[in-house]
């Protein structure tokens, strides 16, 4: 799961699964729960048939977010045959890392190795207010996350976990079940600010390159933090941190906040992100944050951005039909 994009058409098979060796992979959002569970499962299977590699679930408690990540991931894995499941991302301060590691190891074992753990330090203060949990300072949350990653990796790679830190203590914890994926299920860290980018470069298998939420909201500053120049600076920082730790550069993941396939009957999906992006399109010239054009033009742009920035793991937004058209063109060699 490490290494930048080298050849977008090259595939490598490992343990029966196509894994990235310069290959692009694509994420779909977890379907929203509407009428019943059967319809939700049917939508998951449709995403699998459309060619998505992974389905993700967010971890929020307010503003209409629905599903708890761990049970949703487990049920999604049990309801599909190929699709991988990923948290994008679990808020570390809201659970104990050893219990989270056990949950992920359980899903990994029962799914035959189809889980990825996305972690973040948390940014939405009202999630914490809703639970009466203190929303600590950014440096404290990042320090907590660093300790948590150590515990989680130890759980995945050792027989017992012992850890004594400032925020967590684990005493002779038996690390069962053992994971199918070795040495561990991929760990993604969502990172936007300098300290998180440094931590991700040192510790992550995958880095979800994000905007920095400097004001705790999606605003003009957050959008500007996804400009081409800002993204390149973030990626350089990740690579420098990895080099300093003596390890390969983590794989890069990016979520596109604005997708508009113009040869589609459907208008672009509206969200807080899309509204903020539309108001700042000039700022995002040349950035992968905006994909706009025909399906073929968008596919060309994905390839272009992959080569320029080294991104090989893409979340193309909430419109899965439009994203699937782009994916099909890329998989069929209809661009480039």
Q: What is the pLDDT of residues 35-79, one digit of tens each?
A: 889 999 999 999 999 999 999 999 999 988 889 999 999 999 999
Residue 334 confidence class, pLDDT cut points 50, 70, 90: low
Structure tokens at 286: 């040349």
Residue 10 confidence class, pLDDT cut points 50, 70, 90: very low
Rounded CA gap, 308 and 300, in Å?
12
End-to-end CA distance of the chain: 24
Q: Which of 250, 218, 269 is nearest to 119 (CA)?
A: 250
Share of the chain above pLDDT 70, in %: 92
- pLDDT score recorded for residue 3: 30
- pLDDT score recorded for residue 180: 98
- pLDDT score recorded for residue 22: 62
Helix (H, G, I), strand (E, B) or coil at 312: strand
Structure tokens at 66: 């629905």
- pLDDT score recorded for residue 276: 85
- Residue 20: pLDDT over 50: no
- pLDDT score recorded for residue 12: 39
Across 204-213, average pLDDT: 94
Q: Which of 332, 63, 98 is nearest to 216 (CA)?
A: 63
Mean pLDDT of the chain: 90
Q: Return the exposure string of 74-86: e unless at least 16 CB atoms fall within 10 Å of the residue's CB, then b.
A: bbbbebbeebbbb
- pLDDT score recorded for residue 336: 54
Rounded CA gap, 173 and 115, in Å?
22
Contact assessment for residue 102 and residue 160, using Cβ atoms and an 8 Å cutoff: no
Residue 208 confidence class, pLDDT cut points 50, 70, 90: very high
Q: Which of 174, 204, 205, 203 is nearest to 102 (CA)?
A: 174
Rounded CA gap, 267 and 175, in Å?
48
Q: What is the pLDDT of residues 80-137, one digit of tens each?
A: 999 999 999 999 999 999 999 999 999 999 999 999 999 999 989 999 999 999 999 9
DSSP one-letter code for 269: P
Contact assessment for residue 278 and residue 258, using Cβ atoms and an 8 Å cutoff: yes
- Residue 160: pLDDT over 60: yes
Across 267-277, average pLDDT: 79
- In the block, tokens 């951005």 appear at 305
Specify the higher pLDDT residue, 9 or 160. Answer: 160
Q: CB-based burial of residue 219 (10 Å sphere; 0-12 exposed, 13-18 middle, 19+ buried)?
A: middle
Q: Which of 89, 84, 54, 319 is nearest to 209 (CA)?
A: 89
Rg (CA), the chain: 19
Across 260-265, average pLDDT: 89
Q: What is the pLDDT of residues 286-306, one digit of tens each?
A: 999 999 999 999 999 999 999
DSSP one-letter code for 63: T
Highest mean pLDDT among 158-162, 264-268, 278-282, 316-320: 158-162
């Amino acid at each position: 799961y490490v290494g930048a994009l080298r050849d977008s058409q090259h595939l490598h098979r490992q343990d029966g699964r196509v894994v990235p060796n310069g290959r692009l992979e694509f994420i779909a959002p977890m379907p929203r729960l509407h009428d019943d569970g059967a319809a939700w499962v049917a939508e998951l299977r449709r995403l699998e048939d459309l060619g998505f590699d992974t389905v993700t679930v967010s971890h929020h408690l307010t503003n209409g977010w629905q599903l708890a990540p761990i049970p949703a991931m487990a049920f999604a894995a049990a309801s599909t045959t190929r699709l991988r499941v990923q948290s994008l991302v679990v808020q570390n301060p809201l659970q104990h890392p050893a219990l989270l590691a056990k949950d992920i190891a359980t899903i990994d074992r029962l799914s035959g190795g189809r889980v990825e753990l996305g972690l973040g330090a948390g940014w939405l203060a009202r999630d914490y207010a809703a639970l009466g949990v203190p929303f600590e300072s950014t440096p404290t949350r990042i320090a907590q996350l660093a300790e948590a990653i150590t515990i989680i990796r130890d759980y995945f790679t050792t027989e017992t976990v012992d850890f004594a830190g400032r925020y967590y203590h684990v005493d002779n914890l038996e690390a069962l079940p053992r994971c199918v994926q070795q040495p561990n299920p991929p760990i993604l860290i969502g990172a936007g600010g300098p300290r998180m980018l440094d931590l991700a470069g040192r510790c992550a298998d995958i880095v979800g390159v994000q905007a920095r939420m400097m004001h705790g909201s999606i605003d003009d500053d957050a959008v500007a933090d996804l400009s081409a120049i800002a993204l390149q600076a973030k990626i350089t920082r990740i690579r420098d941190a990895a080099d300093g730790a003596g390890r390969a550069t983590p794989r890069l993941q990016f979520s596109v906040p604005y997708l508009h396939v113009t040869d589609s009957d459907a208008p672009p999906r509206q969200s807080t992100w899309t509204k903020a992006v539309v108001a700042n399109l000039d700022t995002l010239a040349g950035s992968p944050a905006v994909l706009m054009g025909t399906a073929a033009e968008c596919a060309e742009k994905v390839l272009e951005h992959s080569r320029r920035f080294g991104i090989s793991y893409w979340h193309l937004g909430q419109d899965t039909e439009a994203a699937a058209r782009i994916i099909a063109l890329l998989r069929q060699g209809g661009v480039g």
